[in-house]
Chain A
Amino acid sequence: EAGVAQSPRYKIIEKRQSVAFWCNPISGHATLYWYQQILGQGPKLLIQFQNNGVVDDSQLPKDRFSAERLKGVDSTLKIQPAKLEDSAVYLCASSLGLWTEAFFGQGTRLTVV
């Protein structure tokens, strides 16, 4: 069974530029999460989808971050414009349903300079 795929693996951008991350979850997984993980800390939930609907986006900085999950499968997370403090690893995870085991991708390491 293929795992959660994320791209790119690494991205370096200048502040105020925009960037997009892509995630392809495990086939059949209804729930998709985007987490932000700052070095040495636990993942912080940014947004959670159930199929193509948003379950929780309370910690998503909506003035600069946006995410979509068209057709309830792939998802993209965008940052525009990026700030220095956005430097982190962005993890995508998927699960069969709410609260079941989450399978994580390898993440995208973003560096904003």
Chain B
Amino acid sequence: TQLLEQSPQFLSIQEGENLTVYCNSSSVFSSLQWYRQEPGEGPVLLVTVVTGGEVKKLKRLTFQFGDARKDSSLHITAAQPGDTGLYLCAGAWEYGNKLVFGAGTILRVKS
């Protein structure tokens, strides 16, 4: 059983469309990070959210941390082919003192 459940597992959309990726858990996290990974590379951090209800924007990407710090979402506006990749959420699980990852969402943006 995954501590962090990501949905959808796979998303294929046309350039210019909007999309939302979800990261859910029954556990509370001290903070939650979103990473993007391209083939053959390690994940690269996009953002860290710490406070319940926090919203962070990074150009066309909007990240939200749930009020109870159990879930998060990533919204991409006007997706571009360069957004293609594996999007991973990772939670700092305070009771386990470790950083755990979700299974990821594979995003493919077609031009």
User: Is chain B a partner of chain A in the same complex?
Assistant: yes
Indicate if the CB atoms of B97 and A106 lie closer than 8 Å. Answer: no
Q: Does A107 contact B (CB under 8 A)?
A: yes
Let me know if B33 and A101 touch, CB within 8 A: yes
In Å, the complex CA distance between A105 and B42 comes to 6
Given contacts A102-B45, A104-B43, A106-B40, contact A48 B98 (CB under 8 A): yes
B7 within 8 A of A: no
For A93, the closest partner residue in chain B by CB is: B42
B103 CB–A CB distance under 8 Å: yes
Q: Which residues of B contact A14 (CB under 8 A)?
A: none
Is B106 at the interface (CB under 8 A from chain A)?
yes
Q: Is the interface of B mostly helix, strand, loop or mixed?
A: strand
**When the two chains form their complex, are residues B101 and A35 in contact, meaning their CB atoms are under 8 A apart?**
yes
The digit string for B80-111, where 1 denotes a CB below 8 A from any CB of A, is: 00000010101010001111111110100000
- How many residues of B sit at the interface, in one of the four size bands? 20 to 34
Q: Across the interface, which residues of A come within 8 angstroms of B31, CB to CB?
A: 99
Q: Which residues of A contact B6 (CB under 8 A)?
A: 42
Instruction: Write the chain A residue with the least CB distance to B4.
Output: A42
With the chains together, A103 CA to B37 CA distance in Å? 12
21 sampled A-B residue pairs with Cβ under 8 A: A42-B86, A42-B88, A42-B102, A42-B103, A43-B101, A48-B97, A55-B97, A55-B98, A56-B97, A91-B43, A99-B30, A99-B31, A99-B99, A101-B48, A102-B33, A102-B43, A102-B45, A102-B99, A104-B41, A104-B42, A106-B40
